[in-house]
Amino acid sequence: MEDRCNSLIPLDIETNRCEEVLRHCRPKECKPVNHNLDYCDVVPIPQDWMKFNSEDEVRSYYTKYANQEGFTIMKKTSKKGADGKVFYFILACSRQGNRRIGKTNPVTNCPSEEQKCEARIIVYLCEDGAYRFKSITLNHNHELNPNQVKSRNSADTNKRLKRTLDPNDQAEKGVKKSFGSLVVKPEVYENLAFCEQGFRNYIHKEKRLIGEDGDGHALHKYFMRMQEQDSNFFYAIDFDDSFCVKNVFWADGRSRATYKLFGDVVKFDSTYLSNQYKIPLTFFVGVNHHGQSILFGCGLLSSEDTQSFVWLFQSWLVCMSGVQPKGIITYQHEAVQSAIGIVFPSTRHSWCLSHIMKKLPQNIGGHAEYDSLSYHLQRVVYDSFTTNEFETAWKMIVEEFGLQDNEWLRELYLERHRWVPTFIRCSFWAGMSATQLGEIERGFFDEIISGQTSLKQFVGKYDISLQAKVEKEFEADFRSYSSTLECATKSPIERQFQSAYTHAKFLEVQKEFIGKADCNVCIAGVEGSICHYNVIEDTMMGDKPKETMFQVTFDRVNCDVKCICNMFEFKGILCRHSLAILSMERVKEIPCKYILNRWMKSMKRRHAYVKTSYAAKQLQPQIQNFDLLCKQFESVAEVASEFEETSSFVKNTICDLKEKLESWASRLRNSSDMAVPISCAVEIIIYVFKPQRVLLKS
């Protein structure tokens, strides 16, 4: 035990605090454990010679140890004496206990962490007033991952943070802003022992002070500061002849790394008016494996012409190493469409459907029969499942309501392949474009942007908003990693998705399994191994029942299933109609092609190892290792690149090393993957003047 403890602690630790930890690793006598381990890299494992002055000290120590090892804890039981002092208690892994099956409502399925884990410590009060371990169980029956339990073991705040939060509480601001004031501080965020929900009962208000620098200088200073902290931070500024800011684009290192994984489908939003100069905020977003919005970069434009959008798209493309997205979603905008054709010629381009439908009152609201016209248009758009069905119904409406001269509708029809669901559902859009009536799409920065937000204010709030999104992703990762959602049915196919998908995506799959009960199947014909089915789904239109028929084909040889609704092609989720056919065909296991790696909780997330501009000083050990290794690789590359022979040798060596490391990492139950940083440091003009006032079209 002595050798193990000493091997866990770095020999080059210079702080005196860690010398105390080394002494505790030598089981010569019972000594108090030094619990102020903020500057120590390793927390020693529980041992029977340790003693503590209070119950809180035991919990603090075990919490730090659990964070280090990769599990969460809970207080299982405790007993008090006649004096009211606790003399016996148990701290256990939160995954102890038996899962209660059969009591879960499949419609409102709740995660369960219980997995019969026996890891725990039993603590008792000694005659001398100190707490010692009566029993120690270290072994867990589940995977441990420190990345997934970061900041989840405690909702307590330390004294320094409380002193920071107390003045904020007097400022009468919101909880989100209070939490944001912490997460943007590099020296605080990485060591937070709580998430946003965890300290809601303690802090509710915050006051943010805005500097007095001009907007242009504030923007420039922000970019310079971010690039000093994050070597992957990218920005570009377009000036006019008077050195006034014309257009701006920026993206941090995490956004660039995230794009490599989730950049297949991108939405470009240009509708925000973010500051007093009426320069529109534009941004690129995607969705991650939880279906959450993720940022790929932001821009500020002085005008909404083709030239400005071309500059923005080209800057973004350079930032993303020249990799075009497979699909891009935008609002209906002529200049944007022209710029996409110039910069992204091979990218599929669709329009945001909800944005178009919101324009109905503006463009046909004056019609004498508007209510009836609007109803029929929505039915045609949302309920058509074939192109012929849509085109026939559209022409009937135009003739019936006398809309032959409506220029807006005529232009929409000519571009129907960009926005009508039946045209775009045949391609993968990660579910980012609303195709159902009533779906609401929220903007990425809706919570922090108002019409009067200045450039300087937005730049400050940008860090808060982005860090909040990152925190939510970590929380979703933790829930998917540490708990299990019960299946709604007995289907073995549902169990496949249960073990593979994140909670958010499994709930989408589960919704289809539940909806399968409303589907009635009848066979329409058989051609060799190809079976044709009609699936009639019982739905409700308002308070009236409705039947909708879907055609589904199934190939019994290779287990291919395809529904006319194209839900899998569009969202990557098998529809209830396809599941009904698979059930009827007695399929027990679906091919891997229907389980997308994009939605899997075990996917390798490279961006999790990229140093961000929000926490550059206090980094997770894995991120520190990543940065150090990259520096080593860079020095090797400088030497090897001089000759072809040395370059080839290094390439081959790296390939062999990668295979060995992947095998080793798999055995260590560490599915981490590293991303190579992209360096982008550009000197720009120091003098930046205010943006000019420009009247916007939107």
Using DSSP's 3-state secondary structure scheme, residue 545 falls into strand
The pLDDT of residue 680: 38
pLDDT classification of 219: cutoffs 50, 70, 90:
confident
In the chain, what percentage of residues exceed pLDDT 90? 42
Q: Are 568 and 578 in contact (CB under 8 A)?
A: yes
Distance CA 519, CA 450 (A): 45
The pLDDT of residue 693: 53
* pLDDT exceeds cutoff 60 at 310: yes
pLDDT classification of 295: cutoffs 50, 70, 90:
very high
- The edge-to-edge listing of strands for the beta sheet with 560-563 is 519-527, 530-541, 544-555, 560-563
Mean pLDDT of 669-673: 42
In the chain, what percentage of residues exceed pLDDT 70? 71
- Confidence (pTM): 0.66
* pLDDT exceeds cutoff 90 at 304: no
Q: Are 250 and 313 in contact (CB under 8 A)?
A: no
Highest mean predicted confidence (pLDDT) among 142-151, 492-501, 632-641: 492-501
- Give the start-to-end residue ranges of the domains of the chain: 2-144, 150-209, 217-350+441-483+684-698, 353-418, 502-594, 621-667
* DSSP class of 501: B
Interval 545-597: pLDDT, tens: 999 999 999 999 999 999 999 999 999 999 999 999 999 999 999 999 999 99
Among 14-28, 320-334, 575-589, the minimum mean pLDDT is found in 14-28
In Å, the largest CA–CA distance within the chain is 95
For CA atoms 630, 633, 635, 637, the dihedral sign is negative
Would you tell me how many other CB atoms lie within 10 Å of the CB of residue 589?
11
Interval 242-262: pLDDT, tens: 777 788 999 988 899 999 999
Query: For the CA atoms of the chain, what is the radius of gyration?
Result: 29
Q: What is the dihedral of CA 594, 597, 599, 604, to 10 degrees?
A: 170
The pLDDT of residue 471: 81
Q: Residue type at 442?
A: R
Q: State both tokens at 168.
A: 């904020």
pLDDT classification of 131: cutoffs 50, 70, 90:
very high
Q: State both tokens at 351.
A: 């329009």
Highest mean predicted confidence (pLDDT) among 147-151, 173-177, 527-531, 615-619: 527-531
